[in-house]
Structures are given as C-alpha cells and as structure tokens.
C-alpha cells in the first residue's frame, strides 16, 4: 500500500516536472504513462521472480520512476526540438539522433551490474534482477 502510494506520488511529480521542462502537456503525459507502465511491470516482475514486497523491492519500484523517465524524456525532447515538417520525420530524427546513445547508456549500466550474477547474497541478486528489468523496460518503453 505504501509503495503504491509512493509510486503514484512520484509519477505525479514526474508529470509536473516534465510538463515544466518539456513545455508540452501531452508529451509530459505520454512520458508519465511510460513511467507508470514500467512501474506496473516491475510490480508484476516481483511475482515472476518470487519476491515479496519489502523494503528492497519497494525501493526498486520507486527507483524505477526515475530510471524509466530518462529514455522517453530524451526522445520526446528531441522530437519537440526537431524542425522537420511531419510527425513521422520528427520521430525518425529523434530516434536516429538519440536512439544509439540512450541504448548504449542503458546497456553499459546493465553490463556494469552483471557482475552481481556471480554473487550468492539475496540483496545483490535482487539488485541484479530488478535493475535489469527496470532498464530493459525503460529502454523498450522509451521507443
């Protein structure tokens, strides 16, 4: 219950901040929807990983709000700054410009935490599972 409340508050704050920074209500709402989707999927992954909701998993669900807003916000900013005539061309330019750097950033983070796969402690394995899930979902939803 507390985790859900924290997630709703965090997504609401992300929406307000994105509307202010991006200057577009619709784009801010779309990014907030991507963030909410990632958070819901992370909640669902707790079941598949056989994890209970506790302090660590609640932390990662809340952390997913920040990580999930990164890729979509970058793509949307590039879309809004594009001067091409059609929406499709602006979307293509945004993905072509920022797609590879955002993807490399996410993949380098995953590569950096893969060392946790060799750990035997529950905390590090949970860290690996949930952070990898968050990053993959955030990169996917950013597209």
Judge whether residue 84 has pLDDT over 90. Answer: yes
Global pTM reads: 0.82
User: How far is C-alpha 99 from the geometric centre of its chain's CA atoms?
Assistant: 15
CB atoms within 10 A of CB 90: 17
Share above pLDDT 90 across residues of the chain, in percent, rounded to a whole number: 20
Q: What is the CA radius of gyration of the chain?
A: 16
Per-residue pLDDT tens over the stretch 103-124: 898 889 889 888 888 989 988 9
């Amino acid at each position: 219950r507390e985790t859900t409340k924290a997630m709703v508050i965090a997504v609401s704050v992300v929406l307000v901040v994105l509307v202010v920074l991006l200057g577009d209500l619709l784009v801010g709402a779309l990014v907030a929807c991507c963030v909410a989707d990632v958070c819901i999927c992370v909640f669902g992954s707790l079941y598949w990983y056989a994890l209970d909701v506790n302090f660590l998993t609640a932390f990662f669900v809340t952390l997913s709000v920040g990580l999930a807003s990164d890729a979509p916000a970058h793509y949307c900013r590039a879309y809004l700054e594009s001067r091409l005539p059609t929406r499709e061309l602006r979307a293509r330019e945004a993905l072509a410009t920022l797609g590879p750097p955002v993807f490399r950033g996410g993949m380098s983070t995953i590569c950096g935490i893969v060392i946790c796969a060799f750990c035997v402690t529950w905390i590090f394995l949970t860290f690996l599972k949930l952070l990898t899930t968050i990053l993959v979902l955030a990169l996917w939803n950013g597209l």
